[in-house]
Structure 1
Amino acid sequence: MRYYLFFILVIFSCTKKGTFKPDEPVVTVEAQIIQDVAYGGDKQQKMDVFLPGNRSVSSTKVFVFVHGGAWGEGDKADSTNRKIIDSLRKRLPDWAIFNLNYRLVKYKFPLSVDNKFPAQENDIKSAIQYIFDRRSSFIISDKWVLAGASAGGHLALLQAYKNSDLIKPKAVVDLFGPTDMKELYNYFSKADPGTATLLSLMMNGNPDKNPSLYASSSPINYVSAQTPPTIILQGGLDDAVPKEQSFALSDKLQSYNVTHQFVYYDNQTHGWSDPVVVNDSYNKIVSFLNANVP
């Protein structure tokens, strides 16, 4: 994540309160792609919607994807994310796929921040609410999967583990996402103090100053016997989200007997470009979903 944090373009935008009305896209029963659907008033609160044909409210499964970028960079339309969505659409042709953007942390150097956490968590909640409220018009079922990469994995886990009162997902796909924010800060405080400083700005202080936010922002703290099936994918050479984050989550899931799979590539860094590993990742994800989302 530290590779993203130092080069963030600061763009301030504002929306008049009380004037926003979410988009109400015209949805057909045919296969359809609807881009930049606004679920909130900020220009970053948008999603792309990929709907298959022949949908049914009883059987059409839903895959919600959250991009990464250290909570401060990235976009649903980035080339990496487009490849992910394209690959998912090929492998899950009968699923409805929702690709989310959210408000990014904006660092105003030297020491101030816009869109501090939990703005990102709240945006994912709002996006899920938006989709849920329109599930009949989208013609989708209640068989949902939440997924994300890196910071997006963290946000997907938080939504699935902590904020699932509205709809509990049938499964979660965690691609090398942070799971314990206090431990992540502690790691960077030694490995990369500059990134630790940026993390503390995003979190309105370090763990000693703001322990409650670090605790409430850590998916690992919300694991229970009711946690949905989870597949974790992690590279052993990852120095952006250290492997210990995923090992800890796997251990916690195991302690509660939660159905899960830990896919570990010991020679991979943060994300992976090896086509063999990429293909293996997708195959394992699809197999996990087929087994756990009937």
Structure 2
Amino acid sequence: MKKSSILLIITLLLFTSCASKKYKNVTYLNETDEKTEQPTLNIFTPKSSKHTNNQVIIFVHGGNWNSGDKKTYNFIGRNFAKKGITTVIAGYTLSPEANYDDMAKEITKAVTWTKEHISEYKGDPNEIFLTGHSAGGHLIALIGTNPKYLEDKSIIKGIILNDAAGLDMKHYLEENPPTNKNEYLATWSNNPEEWKDASPIYFVDEKTPKMMIYLGSKTYNSIKVGNARFLNELNKYQPNVEPIILNKKHAPMVIQYIIPWSKRYKEILEFMKSKS
């Protein structure tokens, strides 16, 4: 990367940080375990006093369920906050210390914590949206569909999937049985019933929150296949949903959010406004 490009990115990040206030490593779990580091949230609010009772977006990062860190994505929090959105960047326990079910339960608790406490951070508890990239997209889709997680799905106003992985994990693992590679046995087990339980596609219904879907045209084939299968099922209940196809590979699908004026922000804010 050219030195001028690096300086531009640093300038952008410094500029956007001035327009928001950050609350770092906020605890959202009730459990206490001295032997285990508990996941936390980073919360970003608009600094301007005129921004109160904002719409809220919760971002869940990817990383193949065994890597990633919420602090890497603080730029998303800053950029949304600059646009008047109270933003939560959620951390969660990774594989092999946790499996998909543990992760989904933690993200569920992050959502319910946000519902109960976000008014303390200029957020409207009745205007909560979820977004996630890759594995994060899987987790938010799972808790928004599988009824074992959220008792009341209506607390989620909408879901924005960004090159989401794992939407039909059962189909993928039937063709690619899990091994210890990438901690997949720890994440998914070797039980096909668990694979189905982990797959949002099998739980889509009329109560599924309204969705917006981004997909990279150069992403992994498994993500293309999973999204196509999922969309076919989703369209039975949300026939107007069409994926926004971008000419990008998998990682650039989230890296693009570094740019504060990325068109993605405008599109997502329009979606959020339409569902409020």
Cα gap change, 1:126 to 1:183, in 2 (>3 Å): same
- Tell me whether 1:102 sits opposite 2:82 in the alignment: no
Q: Is the 8 A contact 2:44 2:78 kept in 1?
A: no
Give distance in 1, aligned partners of 2:162 and 2:119. 30
Please tell me the root mean square deviation across aligned C-alpha atoms, in Å.
Answer: 2.8
2:28 counterpart (25, 33, 39): 39
Give distance in 1, aligned partners of 2:161 and 2:245. 12
Give distance in 2, aligned partners of 1:145 and 1:196. 33
2:130 counterpart (118, 138, 146): 146
> Where in structure 2 are the equivalents of 1:52-67 lying within 5 Å?
52=46, 53-54=49-50, 56=52, 59-67=53-61
Q: Is the 8 A contact 1:188 1:196 kept in 2?
A: no
Give distance in 2, aligned partners of 1:150 and 1:213. 20
Q: Which sits farther off after the overlay, 245-254 or 196-205?
A: 196-205
Tell me which residue corresponds to 1:231.
Answer: 212
Tell me which residue corresponds to 1:118.
Answer: 101
1:134 counterpart (100, 114, 117): 117
Q: Is the 8 A contact 1:68 1:153 kept in 2?
A: yes
Cα gap change, 1:194 to 1:252, in 2 (>3 Å): same
- Tell me whether 1:164 sits opposite 2:150 in the alignment: yes
Give distance in 1, aligned partners of 2:180 and 2:249. 18
Q: Is the 8 A contact 2:214 2:245 kept in 1?
A: yes
Q: Is the 8 A contact 2:63 2:135 kept in 1?
A: yes
Give distance in 2, aligned partners of 1:104 and 1:69. 9
Q: Is the 8 A contact 2:210 2:238 kept in 1?
A: no
Cα gap change, 1:83 to 1:135, in 2 (>3 Å): closer
Pairs aligned (count)? 242
Give distance in 2, aligned partners of 1:164 and 1:194. 30
Cα gap change, 1:213 to 1:54, in 2 (>3 Å): farther
Give distance in 2, aligned partners of 1:248 and 1:229. 17
Cα gap change, 1:197 to 1:47, in 2 (>3 Å): closer
* TM-score normalised over the length of structure 1: 0.72
Deviation at 1:253, TM superposition (A): 1.4
Give distance in 1, aligned partners of 2:69 and 2:37. 12
Q: Which amino acid aligns with 2:249?
A: T
Deviation at 1:70, TM superposition (A): 0.9
- Tell me whether 1:84 sits opposite 2:73 in the alignment: no
Q: Which amino acid aligns with 1:212?
A: E
Cα gap change, 1:101 to 1:241, in 2 (>3 Å): farther
**Local SS of the residue matching 2:100:** coil
Deviation at 1:220, TM superposition (A): 1.2
Q: Is the 8 A contact 1:236 1:269 kept in 2?
A: yes
Deviation at 1:131, TM superposition (A): 2.0
Structure 2 gaps, min length 5: 1-19
> Where in structure 2 are the equivalents of 1:238-253 lying within 5 Å?
238-239=219-220, 241-253=222-234
Tell me which residue corresponds to 1:3.
Answer: none
Q: Determine what percentage of the aligned residue pairs are the same residue.
A: 22
Structure 1 gaps, min length 5: 1-30, 107-113
- Indicate the structure with greater helix content: 2
* TM-score normalised over the length of structure 2: 0.77
Cα gap change, 1:257 to 1:239, in 2 (>3 Å): closer
1:182 counterpart (160, 167, 170): 170
